[in-house]
Amino acid sequence: MHHFRVLTTIKRYYGKKHSSNMWLERQARDPYVKRAREEDWRCRSAFKLIEIDAKHKLLKPGQLVIDCGCAPGSWTQVIVQKINSNGCDIKLPKGTAIGIDLQYVNPIRGAILLSKCDFTSAKTQAEILQKLGNKKADLVLSDMAPACTGDRSMDHHIIIELCSSVIRFSTVVLKNDGAVLCKLWMGGQQTLLEDAMKKLFLNVKYVKPNASRDDSAEIYLLGRNFKGMI
Ligand SMILES: C[S@@+](CC[C@H](N)C(=O)[O-])C[C@H]1O[C@@H](n2cnc3c(N)ncnc32)[C@H](O)[C@@H]1O
């Protein structure tokens, strides 16, 4: 029995070591990781938003943007630059960027950060509303991802719940004509989410940036032209 336990422990240890080695090797080979380091983005995810924005023209100076699941902060860095919330360009309108994450997020000049906050909680959403005052948002983004359980359908279900929470909150904070972009992992419930979004937005489409890894089930749902609450 003892012998068996020792063997499983060794297997578990080397199993983990093997997968973390694979992760390190993949990071070393990944051109986006290298570029992120060179261009001073906090992580490679920045390129997903840069690419989506280049194609769909979502971010503009002066906008109010909410970034759900923002740690370590590369999307927020992109948002701050594009909406001019750091006021770097005095000729352009100054935007507002609000980032939220369960984890601690190092400060980003030009962004209001709600660190160590669960976006889905009523307390966090009340705090966001308080930061907004009487203003409404142009854009709500969610790159939130739950910690993987290893069970694909369970993980899919959890991320759909996160997306649903983002969509519900968006109906409260978005301007008419505003937009939502949220990440999901493909699976059986995605059409339900898509259908719910079609009721609220005139244009709904799936977006998969090149920077999103091919072997990942990750995809983004983009809803544009919020119809407003009737
Ligand atoms: C892929 S990372 C986001 C990367 C980020 N877009 C960037 O560019 O730096 C996903 C994040 O979602 C956050 N997250 C997951 N569930 C959350 C929740 N309920 N509330 C807030 N953040 C959450 C995680 O803590 C994690 O930092």
50 has a pLDDT exceeding 90:
yes
CA of 224 to the centre of ligand 1 (A): 22
Which residue has 């339900």 as its token pair? 192
Q: Is 70 in the pocket of ligand 1 (CB under 6 A)?
A: yes
* DSSP strand pairing (174-185 vs 218-226): antiparallel
CA of 118 to the centre of ligand 1 (A): 10
147 Cβ neighbours under 8 A, 6+ residues apart: none
Mean pLDDT score, 109-127: 98
CA of 101 to the centre of ligand 1 (A): 6
How many angstroms separate the CA atoms of 68 and 140, rounded? 8
pLDDT attached to residue 17: 65
Does domain 43-226 match CATH 1.10.287.3510?
no
Mean pLDDT score, 146-165: 95
> With contact defined as beta carbons under 8 Å apart, do 94 and 64 qualify?
no
pLDDT attached to residue 2: 46
> With contact defined as beta carbons under 8 Å apart, do 200 and 167 qualify?
yes
Please give the single-letter amino acid code of residue 226: F
pLDDT, averaged across the chain: 91
pLDDT attached to residue 16: 58
| Of 8-12, 33-37, 190-194, the least confident | 8-12
pLDDT attached to residue 229: 76
CA of 5 to the centre of ligand 1 (A): 36
- Ligand 1 atom closest to the Cα of residue 48 is 8
Q: Higher pLDDT residue, 27 or 62?
A: 62
Q: Is 218 in the pocket of ligand 1 (CB under 6 A)?
A: no
Q: What is the pLDDT of residues 185-209, one digit of tens each?
A: 999 999 999 999 999 999 999 999 9
Q: What is the pLDDT of residues 63-99, one digit of tens each?
A: 999 999 999 999 999 999 999 999 999 999 999 999 9
44 has a pLDDT exceeding 80:
yes
Full DSSP string of the chain: -HHHHHHHHHHHHHHHHHHHHHHHHHHHH-HHHHHHHHHT-SSTTHHHHHHHHHHH----TT-EEEEES-TT-HHHHHHHHHHTTT---TTS---EEEEE-SS-----TTEEEETT--TTSHHHHHHHHHHHTT--EEEEEE---PPP-S-HHHHHHHHHHHHHHHHHHHHHHEEEEEEEEEEEE-STTHHHHHHHHHHHEEEEEEE--TTS-TT--EEEEEEEEE----
> With contact defined as beta carbons under 8 Å apart, do 186 and 156 qualify?
yes
pLDDT attached to residue 1: 41
* DSSP strand pairing (218-226 vs 201-207): antiparallel
Active-site annotation, residues: 183
Binned at pLDDT 50, 70 and 90, residue 6 comes out as very low
Nearest to 161 by CA among 196, 193, 116, 199: 193
Mean pLDDT score, 57-65: 98
47 has a pLDDT exceeding 70:
yes
Ligand 1 pocket: which of 70, 114, 124, 184 to mutate (most atoms within 8 A of CB): 70
Binned at pLDDT 50, 70 and 90, residue 230 comes out as low
Q: Is 72 in the pocket of ligand 1 (CB under 6 A)?
A: yes
